[in-house]
């Protein structure tokens, strides 16, 4: 399998894109062709464990990695000791035609663990083979950072430089990141919002001389390794939902997925699963008050907001106004035409927006994406209602997904709501929703009380460059 840039040109194989991150021309890596999965293949995968399924699915994209080696990487990433559930991804009926897909059973209690644990193993494997080092540069709105750092901490050939927006994450999220004392982990709190952090990362990644001199790579969802690993749980969830169906009814049985969305990486993985042949009826994109993506999928106009206009909300991991993975979707929307994709991003750079309403209306059925917006009050009401009716407490981001999903539930079509994180990561909002102080267990209190190690920097590219130059592995 070869990979190309959304803006033209060939990048290389899977191992190459793991360490490359952004393409040299500023585009994102996409498969030269989308692998296909049919009903017979899905049935062959039905009885596999999660690590075994991950080996099969990721193996469709990482064709140059020997299968035995890939199987070892997946076993290490998804070993039962790392996950609270023995199935890694449990499914729970929460009523109203919805099923919660439990993606937050991993070390940092967030769905990002499902891809990041694999990426940590895969990066170490590739670097050991090549003898190189990698300085990972990333930006986080909350959960990516902690998942990346916990997956990469203590690794000899990898250093992590993670940018986060000052004052824009929950206390639990900050503690998970800033309490790490590993020498290869560098937390950088930037004066600004997530989009400022993401802009700094992209600016340095586009400086090819700096990138190569300092061995800069990425683990944000611009890294296709994460996208490929996230496809696995869409297929896993479909298999579990159809386990109880008679064999003759499984073929083509459609489900829908509701996905809380910030940077568009998670729902893009669902779209790829659909394009591969998984029977997905709808992909429900849920945004919070920073609803740039909802506006785009409703109107075809993409109008990212400025940092000043990006709101701080009670679902902070979705406080994103520039979704970096949207470019991969636009590439497919424009018929996989790299010249039109590059031109669209030039329009965005010069005019601050673009309009693809005609293309989106023509091809909406092909992609199955629908969308909606949730507010703070919606989150509180949704958390409260599901807790009252089922005893299940969901986090604010998952509440955004469930709230929007309600408008798209169809008889006979299971609606699978992807869990974003465990509710204890957002204790203040849960307490506000349920009307009682959140219970803090001893382990959580110890985390919150632990010494924190973080460097504060202004939103200044020169100062970030200097910090990396001083601390990067060579």
- Catalytic annotation, pick one of 72, 112, 403, 456: 112
> Could you tell me the two tokens for 57?
């699915």
**Residue 355, φ and ψ in degrees, nearest 5:** -125, 115
pLDDT of 418 = 98
Angle at the Cα of 98 from the Cα atoms of 429 and 386, rounded to 5 degrees: 35
Looking at residue 384, its pLDDT comes to: 97
Measure Cα distances from 285 to 229, 333, 388 in Å: 20, 16, 25
Q: Are 25 and 5 in contact (CB under 8 A)?
A: yes
Tell me, rounded to whole angstroms, the distance of Cα 299 from its chain centroid: 24
- 224-263: per-residue pLDDT in tens? 999 999 999 999 999 999 998 999 999 999 999 999 999 9
Residue 72 falls in the annotated catalytic set: no
Measured CA to CA, the distance from residue 474 to residue 472 in angstroms comes to 6
Task: Say if strands 280-287 and 158-165 run parallel, antiparallel, or are unpaired.
Answer: unpaired
Residues 6+ positions from 317 with CB-CB distance below 8 Å: 141, 142, 143, 262, 397, 420, 421
Nearest to 396 by CA among 320, 319, 449: 319
| Fold entry, domain 91-106+224-434 | Rossmann fold (3.40.50)
Kindly state the tokens that stand for 470: 């001083």
Cβ atoms of 2 and 335 within 8 Å: the answer is: no
Q: Which residues, including other chains, have CB under 8 Å from residue 254's CB and lie 6 or more apart?
A: 279, 280, 281, 413
Integer-rounded Cα Rg, in Å, for the chain is 21
Inter-residue contact 180 to 205 (CB < 8 Å): no
Residues of the chain scoring pLDDT < 70: 437-438
CA-wise closest residue to 399 among 371, 375, 427, 415? 375
Contact 439, 120 (CB under 8 A): no
Query: Would you state the pLDDT for residue 307?
Result: 86
Helices of type H across 38-96: 39-45, 50-59, 67-77
C-alpha 304/C-alpha 322 separation (Å) is 6
CA 386-420-442 angle, 5° bins = 85
The reported pLDDT for the residue numbered 149 is 94
Phi–psi pair at 172, nearest 5 degrees: -65, -45
């Amino acid at each position: 399998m070869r990979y190309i840039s959304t803006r033209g040109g060939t990048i290389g194989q899977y191992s190459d894109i793991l360490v490359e991150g952004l393409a040299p021309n500023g585009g994102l890596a996409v498969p030269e062709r989308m692998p296909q999965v049919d009903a017979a293949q899905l049935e062959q995968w039905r009885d596999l464990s999660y690590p075994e399924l991950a080996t099969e699915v990721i193996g469709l994209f990482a064709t140059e990695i020997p299968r035995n080696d890939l199987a070892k990487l997946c076993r290490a990433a998804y070993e039962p000791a790392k996950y609270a559930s023995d199935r890694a991804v449990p499914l729970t009926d929460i009523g109203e035609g919805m099923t919660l897909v439990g993606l937050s059973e991993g070390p940092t209690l967030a769905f990002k663990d499902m891809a990041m644990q694999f990426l940590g193993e895969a990066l170490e494997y590739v670097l050991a083979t090549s003898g190189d080092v990698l300085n990972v540069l990333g930006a986080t709105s909350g959960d990516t950072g902690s998942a990346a750092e916990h997956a990469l901490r203590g690794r000899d050939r990898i250093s992590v430089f993670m940018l986060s927006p000052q004052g824009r994450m929950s206390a639990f999220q900050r503690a998970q990141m800033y309490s790490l004392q590993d020498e290869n982990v560098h937390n950088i709190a930037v004066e600004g919002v997530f989009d400022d952090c993401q802009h700094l990362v992209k600016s340095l990644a586009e400086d090819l001389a700096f990138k190569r001199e300092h061995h800069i790579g990425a683990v944000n969802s611009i890294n296709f390794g994460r996208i490929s690993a996230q496809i696995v749980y869409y297929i896993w969830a479909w298999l579990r939902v159809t386990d109880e169906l008679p064999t003759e009814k499984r073929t083509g049985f459609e489900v829908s997925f509701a996905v809380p969305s910030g940077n568009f990486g998670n729902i893009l993985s669902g779209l790829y699963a659909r394009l591969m042949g998984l029977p997905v009826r709808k992909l429900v994109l849920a945004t919070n008050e920073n609803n740039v993506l909802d506006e785009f999928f409703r109107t075809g106009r993409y109008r990212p907001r400025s940092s000043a206009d990006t709101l701080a909300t009670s679902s902070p991991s979705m406080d994103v106004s520039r979704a970096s993975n949207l470019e991969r979707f636009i590439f497919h929307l424009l018929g996989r035409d790299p010249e039109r994709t590059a031109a669209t991003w030039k329009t965005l750079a010069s005019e601050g927006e673009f309009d693809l309403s005609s293309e989106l209306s023509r091809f909406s059925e092909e992609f199955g994406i629908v969308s909606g917006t949730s507010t703070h009050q919606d989150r509180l009401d949704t958390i409260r209602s599901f807790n009252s009716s089922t005893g299940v407490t969901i986090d604010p981001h998952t509440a955004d997904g469930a709230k929007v999903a309600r408008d798209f539930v169809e008889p006979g079509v299971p609606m699978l709501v992807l869990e974003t994180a465990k509710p204890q990561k957002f204790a203040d909002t849960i307490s506000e929703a349920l009307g009682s102080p959140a219970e803090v267990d001893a382990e959580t209190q110890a985390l919150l009380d632990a010494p924190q190690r973080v460097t504060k920097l202004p939103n200044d590219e020169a100062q970030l460059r200097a910090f990396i130059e001083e601390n990067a592995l060579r």
